[in-house]
Structure 1
């Protein structure tokens, strides 16, 4: 029996993109991966638009919460195999040192919480980013290096994929 790969997703507030990525990896391939998420400035709660995107298919939303990335830097922290930054403000140049020297990569997605997005457009932007993360995650879990035992993880830089969807969800900020 091989152990699961441990993957940490990073995003500034850990309330949207990284939460979505954590939930999707757990749901799509939880038998092969332990998924975590964190950020340098964790929000007080998961953003309602992120919950709205996840609600139709994610079984355990109750375990999702914003966390500080410092929770993953101590001796007691789980040893990650891969750290994925979901925006450039939290990539390896800005992130703390994580125990075990995990591989790292950056998947850049638009920030659905950006201040220049009109509130009337926010749900649409969340949906677009959600589907981009779904496509990226689907490609990620199919990578050959994740079919081998954990510990043989190679650094993989995977470009962000664009996507669109017909599903419409709403959220209340």
Structure 2
């Protein structure tokens, strides 16, 4: 175990290999194509291949083939073993020396109970998908959640078809606006309990660590703004995005947050992100 852990630490000590690994951790549980990793990090294909091979050999990532594409996913159990090694071996299990591991008991969940939780949805433009998620969770469970959305590179205004879709579903759109992620990284900003990315590009970008260590997950889905064709075909893309997010929001709102410890809660929100976004057009 020690030899394997030391090899993993040596592998992650390389700045660019660490960048690749961080991206895969942010995208977990997605399996990401090698080409997308290279494009997101500005790496040559050959260089990216070398970094991925090193991470594979160290057991930090897994490789899957989908058609003609090789996809890579973070090997989370191996990461957990590495953190456990550092905590138990190097820190001798002393929490005053090393940050404590997330609680696996019910006590870890009751600390979050009996109050409204702050939830932030992120995408790149904050003009459609994250706005849908904000409006949906507020309508579904606004009594239990303070809901926000933002973009890493927000548009100046919301997409007109997104606003039209929300209005047709009975949502109040008067207070919705495109916002930058910087608004929620200021000292006076609300501390988030949950942060969800709903587009791959936003998840690929490296953002500063969130105050309070919120539970986070990636719920990526196709961008309806990029849909081409007739107006009817474009509206169908927005309908599909709305329906898929509605299903995920309902699953999230139904979670018994006051009975789940953090590990179980993380697994639950990851599981919601693994549900296929297609087919929800009702």
Same fold at TM > 0.5: yes
Q: Residue 118 and residue 8 in structure 1: after superposition, are their counterparts in 2 closer, same or farther (change >3 A)?
A: same
Of 114, 117, 120 in structure 1, the residue corresponding to residue 228 of structure 2 is 117
Work out whether residues 135 and 171 of structure 2, in 8 Å CA contact, stay in contact via their aligned partners in 1: no
150, 158, 169: which is aligned to 1:38? 150
- The alignment partner of 1:104 has SS state of strand
Listed one character per residue, the Cα deviations across residues 27-51 of structure 1 (whole Å, up to 9, x for unaligned) are 1100011110001111111111111
Q: How does 1:17-166 map to 2 (within 5 A)?
A: 17-91=129-203, 94-114=206-226, 117-120=228-231, 121-145=233-257, 148=258, 154-155=265-266, 156-157=269-270, 158=272, 159-161=274-276, 162-166=278-282
Question: Cα 1:69–1:61, aligned 2, differ >3 Å: closer, same or farther?
Answer: same
Counterpart in the other structure of 2:104: none
Tell me the residue number matched to 2:39. Answer: none
The one-character-per-residue Cα deviations of 1:100-139 (angstroms, maximum 9, x if unpaired) are: 121110001110112x623532111001111111111111
- Does the 8 Å CA contact 2:119/2:145 hold for their aligned counterparts? yes
Structure 1 residues 40, 93: closer, same or farther in 2, change over 3 A? closer
TM-score relative to the length of structure 1:
0.84
Q: Considering only aligned residues, what root-mean-square deviation do their CA atoms show, in Å? A: 2.3
Q: How many residues align?
A: 163
Once the 2 structures are TM-superposed, how far is the Cα of residue 98 of structure 1 from its aligned partner? 2.1
Taking the aligned partners of 1:23 and 1:44, their CA distance within structure 2 comes to: 18
Distance 2:275 2:124 in 1: 18
2:118 corresponds in structure 1 to 6
TM-score by length of 2: 0.53
Are residues 82 and 73 of structure 1, via their aligned partners in 2, closer, same or farther at CA, if it must alter by over 3 Å?
Answer: same
Alignment gaps of 5+ in structure 1:
167-173
Q: Conserved in 2, the CA contact under 8 Å of 1:23 and 1:58?
A: no
Cα gap change, 1:27/1:73 in structure 2, threshold over 3 Å: closer, same or farther?
Answer: same
Task: State the structure with more CA Rg.
Answer: 2
CA distance in 1, matches of 2:251, 2:151: 24
Partner of 2:106: none
8 Å contact from structure 2 (residues 200, 221) kept in 1: no
Q: Which has the bigger relative contact order, CA under 8 A and spacing at least 6?
A: 1
